[in-house]
Structure formats: C-alpha cells, structure tokens
Structure 1
Amino acid sequence: MLTGKQKRFLRASAHHLDPIFQVGKAGVNDNMIKQISEALEARELLKVSVLQNCDEDKHTVAEALADATNADIVQIIGNIIILYKESKEKKKIVLP
C-alpha cells in the first residue's frame, strides 16, 4: 500500500507519460492483463486510458487491473488510470 507522500511523488513522475494501453468495448481481458503486467515489470509506472465506449466503470476497470497485476492504483483522473508496481529486476523508481 502506498502512502500519500509516495502517491504524490508517483503522480508527479507520471505527469509527462502518455497512456500506453486503452480499455475499450471488450473491457479487461487476459491478454491485456498479461501485457500490462509485462509493461509494469519493465516501466514500473504507466497510464491506461479508458475509452468512451467501455461498458464498465473506470473504477471497476482500475480495480480489476490492479488486482490481476498486483499493482497499486496511484490515481484515477478523468478517464486515465495510473498504475504502479515495483519491478523485481529493473527497479528504476525510488519511492520517498
């Protein structure tokens, strides 16, 4: 679980990032979870965009992705979800 100070730091770090995944009409599926998990291992911090045609609520999508990848939800702002998971091998981000 992340503290408020850590979330603030991660939000600032994620500000310049672009969303690299989009959740659309199909919602969250196993292939997407696998790809996001691999991306989290490589990057530690990423943004996911929830498209307008997604049938599920953005909070439901965020919880599903976080649970499936064992990641932490840093922030949900608009239709953007910011996820963080500490990398086992390629650790780049040092939390305060």
Structure 2
Amino acid sequence: MSLTNKQKQFLKAKAHDLKPVILLGGNGLTEGVVAEIDVALNFHELIKIKVPTEDREEKVLIMDAIVRETKADKVQVIGKTLVLFRQGKDKKIPLPRG
C-alpha cells in the first residue's frame, strides 16, 4: 500500500508528538531489532525509529532496509529519525481518503 500525500500529511501531524520507540544501538540493524520494530508496528501502527549514525549513506541504507524488512510505509525522515506506518488489522489509525 502506498500512501497519498494527504495521508502522509495526516500521519506526519499525528507523529509530531511521538517519541522514538526504537533506538538502534552499536550493532546496527539486527534480526532482533527488526522483530522489535515489527512488534511496535503491530501495536502502534505509527512509530518513530532513531538511527544514530553520522554516515549519511549508511543511514539511508539502514532506513531502506527497515522499510523493506517490515513492509511498512515511510512517512518521513527528519535528521536521524524515521517515521513508519503500517496499518494493522484493527485499523487503530483511520486514514483519510486519497
């Protein structure tokens, strides 16, 4: 599912007050971290992930891998923070239409 601009704006506004749920450590992106992100997405649907790396290319690669592995939609990236959305079965966050 890809998000429309209207839906992204809506989710950006909702994510504004959120704190990062996942903080990548020194080991980077491991299977355990991906599993935690999966659990957080199932529970919250909209989450922030902090990727503390100074290397810009590495940060982009890690964020792309997270999006690919979790099958979530990237809402936005602000500095080292990635905002992800994946709608669950319960649809806790109703999205505006197109």
Same fold? TM cut 0.5: yes
Unaligned residue ranges in structure 1 (runs of 5+): none
Letter in 2 for 1:95: L
Distance in 1 separating the partners of 2:42 and 2:21? 14
C-alpha separation in 1, matches of 2:32 and 2:56 = 18
Conserved? CA contact 1:26–1:54, under 8 Å: no
Paired residue total: 95
Task: Give a deviation string over 1:48-79, Cα, whole Å, max 9, x none.
Answer: 00114679622211111111111011001111
The TM-score, its normalising length taken from structure 1, stands at 0.90
Map Cα deviations across residues 9-65 of structure 1 (whole Å, 9 max, x no partner). 000000000001112321111001011101101100000001146796222111111
Runs of 5+ consecutive residues of structure 2 not aligned to the other structure: none
**Aligned CA-pair RMSD:** 1.7
- What is the aligned partner in structure 2 of residue 4 from structure 1? 5
Query: TM-score, normalised on structure 2?
Result: 0.88
1:50 corresponds to 2:51: yes
- Give identity over the alignment, percent: 40
Using the TM superposition, name which of 52-61 and 37-46 deviates more: 52-61
Spell out the pairing of 1:60-71 with structure 2 (5 A cutoff): 60-71=61-72
